[in-house]
Structure 1
Amino acid sequence: MFFASDNSGPVHPQVLAALSEANAGYAMGYGDDPLTLQVQERIRELFEAPQAAVYLVATGTAANALALATLCQPFQTVFCSPVAHIHEDECNAPEFFSGGAKLTLVPGGDKMTSAALAATIAKENTRGVHGPQCGPVSITQVTERGSVYSLDELRSLTSVARKHDLPVHLDGARFANALVRLSCSPADMSWRAGVDALSFGGTKNGLLGVEAVLFFDPDRAWEFELRRKRGGHLFSKGRYLAAQMAAYLTDDLWLISARAANAACDRLAAGLRAAGAEFAHAPDANMIFAAIPRAVHQRLHDAGAVYHLWDGALDGDDPQEMLTARLVCDWSISNARIDQFLNVLNS
Structure 2
Amino acid sequence: MKVAFTSDNIAGASDSVWQAMMEASHGDAMPYGNDDTTAEVTTMLSALFECDVDVFLVSTGTAANVLSISAMTPPWGSVLCHTESHLLKDESTAPEFYTGGARFVGIDGAHAKIDPALLKKHVNQKVGDVHSCQPSAVSVSQVTEVGSIYSLEELRTITRVSKEAGLSVHMDGARFANALLSLGCTPAEMTWKAGVDILSFGATKNGTMASEAIVVFNKKLSKELGFRRKRGGHLHSKMRLLSSQMKAYLTDDLWRKNAEHANAMMVLLQAGLVTIPSVKINTLAQANMLFCTLPEGMADHLLAEGFAFYGGRWDEGVIRLVTSFRTPREGVEAFVECARHFAATRFEG
**In the alignment, what sits opposite 2:102?**
101
**In the alignment, what sits opposite 2:310?**
308
**In the alignment, what sits opposite 2:319?**
325
**In the alignment, what sits opposite 2:65?**
64
> SS of the residue aligned with 2:140?
strand
Q: Is the 8 A contact 2:108 2:115 kept in 1?
A: no
**Residue identity opposite 1:45 in structure 2:** A
CA distance in 1, matches of 2:144, 2:62: 15
Q: 1:195 to 1:310 in 2, by over 3 A?
A: farther
Given the alignment of the two structures, is residue 46 of structure 1 paired with residue 40 of structure 2, yes or no?
no
CA distance in 2, matches of 1:132, 1:311: 31
**Residue identity opposite 1:157 in structure 2:** I
Aligned ranges 1:265-304 → 2 under 5 Å: 265-276=266-277, 277-304=279-306
**Residue identity opposite 2:311 in structure 1:** L
CA distance in 2, matches of 1:206, 1:279: 28
Q: Is the 8 A contact 2:177 2:255 kept in 1?
A: yes
**In the alignment, what sits opposite 1:112?**
114
Q: Is the 8 A contact 2:74 2:99 kept in 1?
A: yes
CA distance in 2, matches of 1:238, 1:261: 28
**In the alignment, what sits opposite 1:338?**
332
Unpaired runs of 5+ in structure 2? 342-349
> SS of the residue aligned with 2:138?
strand
**In the alignment, what sits opposite 1:74?**
75
Deviates more, 1:203-212 or 1:127-136: 127-136
User: 1:20 pairs with 19, 22, 29, which one?
Assistant: 22
**Residue identity opposite 2:101 in structure 1:** G
Q: Is the 8 A contact 2:294 2:317 kept in 1?
A: yes
**Residue identity opposite 2:49 in structure 1:** F
CA distance in 2, matches of 1:338, 1:259: 15
Q: Is the 8 A contact 1:87 1:103 kept in 2?
A: yes
> SS of the residue aligned with 2:130?
helix
Cα offset, 1:288, TM superposition: 0.5
**In the alignment, what sits opposite 1:245?**
246
CA distance in 1, matches of 2:12, 2:294: 28
Aligned length: 337
> SS of the residue aligned with 1:10?
coil
Q: Is the 8 A contact 1:202 1:245 kept in 2?
A: yes
Question: Stretches of 4+ moved more than 6 A in 1?
Answer: none
CA distance in 2, matches of 1:8, 1:296: 23
**In the alignment, what sits opposite 1:319?**
none
Cα offset, 1:92, TM superposition: 1.6
CA distance in 2, matches of 1:164, 1:224: 22
Cα offset, 1:219, TM superposition: 2.3
> SS of the residue aligned with 1:208?
coil
> SS of the residue aligned with 1:134?
strand
Q: Is the 8 A contact 1:311 1:323 kept in 2?
A: no
Given the alignment of the two structures, is residue 143 of structure 1 paired with residue 144 of structure 2, yes or no?
yes
Deviates more, 1:93-102 or 1:189-198: 93-102
**Residue identity opposite 1:344 in structure 2:** C
Aligned ranges 1:128-277 → 2 under 5 Å: 128-276=129-277, 277=279
Cα offset, 1:130, TM superposition: 0.5
**In the alignment, what sits opposite 2:345?**
none
CA distance in 2, matches of 1:263, 1:310: 26
> SS of the residue aligned with 1:336?
helix
CA distance in 1, matches of 2:209, 2:314: 33
Cα offset, 1:312, TM superposition: 6.7
CA distance in 1, matches of 2:286, 2:187: 18
Cα offset, 1:214, TM superposition: 1.3
RMSD (CA atoms): 1.3
Cα offset, 1:91, TM superposition: 1.0
Deviations 1:220-250 (A, max 9, x none): 2121111000110000000110011001000
**Residue identity opposite 2:255 in structure 1:** W
Normalised to the residue count of structure 1, the TM-score between the two structures is 0.95
CA distance in 2, matches of 1:141, 1:274: 28
Deviations 1:197-219 (A, max 9, x none): 11000011111011100111222
CA distance in 1, matches of 2:80, 2:241: 34
Deviates more, 1:114-123 or 1:57-66: 114-123
CA distance in 2, matches of 1:84, 1:312: 14
> SS of the residue aligned with 1:346?
helix
